[in-house]
Amino acid sequence: MQKTVESLPTWLRRIERWTVLTGAGVSAASGIPTYRDRDGRWLRVDPIQHREFVESYSKRQRYWARSMVGWTGVDAAIPNANHYALAALERAGKIDTLITQNVDRLHQRAGSKNVIDLHGRLDRAVCLDCGAHETRESLQARLLANNPFVPEYRHIARPDGDADVPEDYISRISIPDCQSCGGTLMPDVVFFGGTVPKPRVELCSDAISRSSGLLVVGSSLQVYSGFRFCRQAEKHRIPIVIVNEGQTRADDLATLKISANAMQRLVAAVDELVPSTEKKTA
Ligand code: APR
Ligand code: ZN
């Protein structure tokens, strides 16, 4: 695709309906760590695989031990200027659908309405046996009641509501079962090695087919489940604008790539387009 020297405000004005694809970079300023650094390098060790979680009780103990403390950071996080800017852009009628790879629900809390949580949501759990949902608030209370010793430990926050915790108590963790059927609960997120449900992918593809541009914000696009939408946009010959402080896998496909002060420039460009009075009436 032809490279452009035109600016972000020009593109935001020109395109009538965007599909927006966001990633961890959008939530970094809310204190939720990203997965990869600016060079696309992986920052995390050994993420749990879907299969391990499903097949092994001890892996589940490990997951919940870490998640029980990591969740408190996600739960306490509040939306930042990036989330509010994208919500304002939607209210201005410029966004068809916002696809997020984040599981923190901060876009919704900032007022975005048409959001697809591509990789699920951390604020609830789902039963692998009967499909019942339980809010994370309720499950967290049950986890803590079963394991009152856990919050005493110091931890280091990781993406996805994960946290580094000492090894010594992992095997002591007692995991609550599904309240409907006694089955196995899993956070309602797509783990590594898991698959995004097909109907959800189709909703995203439909959005791109209706849109006149794809705006990527704060994602390295290293993961295929997000990257594929760039491929689709390329196929439809709609412009791809990327606002990300680091390298992305789709830099070659982008019509415009903003990397220096990326997030500040996005917020400024939306400010220019949407009068601030409109932005406040959420
Ligand atoms: N402001 C803006 N951008 C930042 C900041 C910051 N403060 N810090 C980091 N970034 C950039 C990083 O340089 C990186 O390019 O944000 C991007 C985030 O990319 P990733 O960490 O790879 O996150 P994401 O693309 O959302 O990951 C996609 O991969 O690990 C899986 O399922 C997980 O949903 C996740 C998916
Ligand atoms: Zn169940």
pLDDT digits (tens, 9 = 90+) for 181-218: 999 999 999 999 999 999 999 999 999 999 999 999 99
Termini Cα distance of the chain? 36
Provide the CA 115 distance to its chain's centre, in angstroms. Answer: 11
pTM (2 d.p.):
0.93
Beta strand ranges found along 235-276 (DSSP E): 240-243, 256-258
Query: 1-32+79-119+195-282 has which CATH code?
Result: 3.40.50.1220
Whether the predicted pLDDT of 163 surpasses 50: yes
- Compute the distance from residue 112 Cα to the ligand 1 centre, in Å: 20
Query: Is 230 labelled a binding residue?
Result: no
Whether the predicted pLDDT of 5 surpasses 60: no
**Which H helix or E strand runs over 201?**
helix 198-210
Q: Which atom of ligand 1 is nearest to the CA of 219?
A: 25
* Same CATH fold assignment for domains 1-32+79-119+195-282 and 41-76+121-189: no
Query: Is 181 labelled a binding residue?
Result: yes
Block residue for tokens 């608030």: 137
CATH architecture for residues 41-76+121-189: 2-Layer Sandwich (3.30)
DSSP code, position 18 = E
Q: What is the pLDDT of residue 67?
A: 93
Query: Can you give the residue ranges of every domain in the chain?
Result: 1-32+79-119+195-282, 41-76+121-189
Ligand index nearest the alpha carbon of residue 47: 1
* Lowest model confidence (mean pLDDT) among 31-40, 72-81, 148-157: 148-157
Residues in the ligand 1 pocket, defined by CB under 6 Å: 23-25, 28-29, 34-38, 101, 119, 218-223, 226, 244-246, 262-263
- Compute the distance from residue 174 Cα to the ligand 2 centre, in Å: 17
Ligand index nearest the alpha carbon of residue 179: 2
- Which residue's CA is minimally distant from atom 35 of ligand 1? 101
**70: CB partners within 8 A, 6+ apart:** 155, 157, 158, 160, 161, 162, 163
**Catalytic-residue membership of 119:** yes
- Compute the distance from residue 175 Cα to the ligand 1 centre, in Å: 30
Ligand index nearest the alpha carbon of residue 41: 1
Report pLDDT digits (tens) over 55-94.
999 999 999 999 998 898 899 999 999 999 999 999 999 9
pLDDT-based confidence at residue 160 (cuts at 50, 70, 90):
confident
Q: Which of 119, 133, 155, 236 is catalytic?
A: 119
- Compute the distance from residue 82 Cα to the ligand 2 centre, in Å: 37
